[in-house]
Structure 1
Amino acid sequence: MHQFKHSSPALLLLILWLCGNKWKIAGGQNILRTEVRTCTEVKRQIFEEVKTFSAYIHGAQELKFTVDNCKPYAPLIVGGSPASPKEFPHIARLGHASINKLTEWFCGGTLISERFVLTAAHCFSTNRGEVNIVRLGDLDFGRESDDARPEDFRVRRYIEHNEYNSATIYNDIALVELERSVTFDAYKHPACLPTNSGDGFQKMVAIGWGSTRFADSDSKKLLKVTLNRLGFDQCQRAIAFSDIDQLPRGVENRLQICAGSNEAKDTCSGDSGGPLLAYHPDYPCMYTVIGITSYGIGCGIPGQPGIYTRVYNYIDWIRINVWGQR
Structure 2
Amino acid sequence: MFAISLIVLVIIGGSAYGVPVLEVNSERIIGGEDAPEAYSPHMIALIEGYYFRFLMCGGSIITKRHILTAAHCIDPSIIDGKLSETLNGRIGSNQWNSGGMTVKFKTFKNHPHWDVENIKNDAGILITKNDIEFSLEVRSVALGYEWVGAGEKASVTGWGNTGPRVVGGVVQISPTPDDLQLLYVETIATDQCSKDMKEAAAELWWGPVPDVDPHLEICTFHSVGHGMCNGDSGSALLTVKDGKQVGIVSWGLPCAIGAPDIFTRVAGVRDFLEDVLNESLTEEINSRSLFEGFNV
**TM-score normalised by the shorter chain: which range applies?**
0.7 to 0.9
Aligned pairs for 1:164-243 (under 5 A) are 164-199=114-149, 202-213=152-163, 215-241=173-199, 242=201, 243=206
Pick from 80, 89, 93: which aligns with 1:134? Answer: 89
Alpha-carbon shift at residue 212 of structure 1 (Å):
1.4
CA distance in 2, matches of 1:93, 1:139: 9
Indicate whether 1:308 and 2:263 are aligned: yes
CA distance in 2, matches of 1:280, 1:323: 28
Contact 2:30 2:226 survives alignment (8 Å)? yes
TM-score, normalised relative to structure 1: 0.67
Alpha-carbon shift at residue 240 of structure 1 (Å):
2.4
CA distance in 1, matches of 2:209, 2:191: 18
Q: Which has the higher helix share?
A: 2
Alpha-carbon shift at residue 164 of structure 1 (Å):
0.7
Runs of 4+ in 1 over 4 A off after TM superposition: 127-131
Give the aligned residue type for 1:91.
Answer: M
Q: For residues 195 and 92 of structure 1, do their structure 2 counterparts lie closer, same or farther at Cα, with a shift above 3 Å needed? A: same
Aligned-pair Cα RMSD in Å: 2.6
* 190-199 or 120-129: bigger deviation: 120-129
CA distance in 2, matches of 1:128, 1:115: 19
Q: Which has the higher contact order (CA 8 A, sep 6+)?
A: 2
Q: Which residue of 2 aligns with 1:26?
A: none
Work out which of the two has the higher radius of gyration on C-alpha atoms and give 1 or 2. Answer: 1
Contact 1:213 1:299 survives alignment (8 Å)? no
Alpha-carbon shift at residue 140 of structure 1 (Å):
2.4
Q: Which residue of 2 aligns with 1:90?
A: 42
CA distance in 2, matches of 1:167, 1:97: 27
What's the CA shift string for 1:79-131, capped at 9, x where partnerless?
20001111100001112233xx4422210000000000000001123389946
Indicate whether 1:156 and 2:114 are aligned: no
SS of the counterpart of 1:259? strand
What's the CA shift string for 1:287-322, capped at 9, x where partnerless?
2111000001111112x1101000011222111102
Where structure 2 has 5 or more consecutive residues not aligned to the other structure, the ranges are 1-28, 165-172, 283-296
Contact 1:296 1:305 survives alignment (8 Å)? yes
Alpha-carbon shift at residue 246 of structure 1 (Å):
4.8
Indicate whether 1:267 and 2:228 are aligned: yes
CA distance in 2, matches of 1:225, 1:128: 31
Q: For residues 140 and 134 of structure 1, do their structure 2 counterparts lie closer, same or farther at Cα, with a shift above 3 Å needed? A: closer
What's the CA shift string for 1:186-234, capped at 9, x where partnerless?
0001011013123376211011001113652211110000111122232
CA distance in 2, matches of 1:316, 1:128: 23
What's the CA shift string for 1:224-268, capped at 9, x where partnerless?
001111222321112323125552xx1000000010122311010
Give the aligned residue type for 2:233.
Answer: S
Alpha-carbon shift at residue 323 of structure 1 (Å):
2.9
Pick from 278, 281, 285: which aligns with 2:239? Answer: 278
Where structure 1 has 5 or more consecutive residues not aligned to the other structure, the ranges are 1-76, 282-286
